[in-house]
A and B are shown apart, each in its own frame.
Chain A
Amino acid sequence: MSDTQWQIFEVFHQQVRGEPHVYVGSVHAPDPEAALILAKEQYGRRQASVSLWVVPEDAITATSYEDVDMFDHGTDKSYRESFGYETTKRIKSIVADRTESRGEA
């Protein structure tokens, strides 16, 4: 190869402590440390920042969009969600029953 544009690093940026690092783009850089130094100006020169990560592009393993259907839910999974339960409705009816039976007594 006659020339080089170095390797590609993916850049993740954190705006404030406590927030997640968010993917913002890539830099061409010769090594991780240079990648951080160069990414700082391309991705941190305007946004507030507290932290940057760089990851070699080929270190990322990803699912394929062709397999997007594997994220589908084949059966009812509401049992693991709070919306799958009717506690409020149930407790209301219990309280209502009690009031009713007290009234009778």
Chain B
Amino acid sequence: MSTGTTFSAAGDIQGEERSALIDLLYRLGDDDLMIGHRNSEWTGLAPILEADIAFSSMAQDEIGRALSYYRMLHALGEPDPDTIAFTRAAAAYRCASLASLDRSDWAFSTVRQYFYDVATTRRLALMADSSYTPLSQFVRKVGGEQKYHMMHSRMWVVRLGKGTDESRLLMQQAVEKAYPHALGMFEATEWDAVIAGSGIGPCEADVEASWVEEVAEHLSASGLAVPTNVEPTYGGRCGRHPEELGCLLEEMQKVYKLEPSAPW
């Protein structure tokens, strides 16, 4: 349904396509920032040293991507990345609730990361030919990094799903808890049709369909039951967030706000 137009730089995109692109970039950036922030809370505290090191890399990759999306936003006339990241009120963030929930235990963190990685992989694949050139170029650059994310999170789900009775139970509980929030990642915004129509990115329903299929397959292969008839937790894409995001922001902005206009 793409119009076939390519927008090779920030200056080339106008009107509703520009608004749609900005909406998409805020969602991508905010998701990455929040899940990266949550994952970084494990640094130094993971179940074993080797896992600690790998999980810190996930956090860095995600926050690094948030920075890249925020830079794209800045090029489109939005504030600079740190202002975007550190000064907004909760309602201005566009992250899905999945990304901002507390880190909870290792079961929840790895299940969340797996759900998020599948969505990201699918989304990136569908954006590799984005009509917005800076986005398609970026997406191609992180493809390899994302491949490793998938191996890493699939490994955790299957190992813990098939581990002991205890681990299977904890993983199943984590799946039940995270699943509605994961579906919330695919909440379509008012710009959904424009994004898909202009070839900037996929429509959310397409990402969701392929996500549901892949997740069901891997959960089953990992000895975990796939939740059915789940009511998605929507709201994040239009600024309605769980309380956890408020706490997260308070922590995140604490030092920055001591001197909001000074470099740190």
Which residues of A line the B interface, CB within 8 A? 5-6, 27-30, 33-34, 37-42, 45
Contacts and interface: CB of A to CB of B under 8 A. Distances in A.
Nearest to B51: A38
Main secondary structure on B side of the interface with A: helix
B57 A45 contact: yes
A101 B159 CA distance: 85
Interface stretch (B64-72, B147-155, B185-193, B235-243): B147-155
Contacts, number: 32
A29 B57 contact: no
B48 A6 contact: yes
A39 B49 CA distance: 11
Contact of B53 (A5, A6, A33, A38): A38
Contacts of B166: none
Nearest to B56: A41
B49 A28 contact: yes
Nearest to B148: A40
B171 to A, nearest CB: 16
B46 to A, nearest CB: 11
A22 B146 CA distance: 26
B50 A42 contact: yes
A1 to B, nearest CB: 15
Interface residues of B, number: 13
A54 to B, nearest CB: 12
A33 B155 contact: yes
Contacts of A37: 54, 148, 151-152, 155
B54 A41 contact: yes
Interface in B34-66: 48-51, 53-54, 56-57
B54 A38 contact: yes
B195 to A, nearest CB: 34
9 contacts: A5-B48, A27-B50, A34-B155, A37-B148, A37-B151, A38-B54, A40-B54, A41-B53, A41-B54
A28 B50 contact: yes
Contacts of B49: 28
Most buried by A among B48, B49, B50, B155: B50
* 7 closest A-B pairs by CB: A38-B50, A41-B54, A41-B57, A41-B53, A27-B50, A42-B53, A37-B155
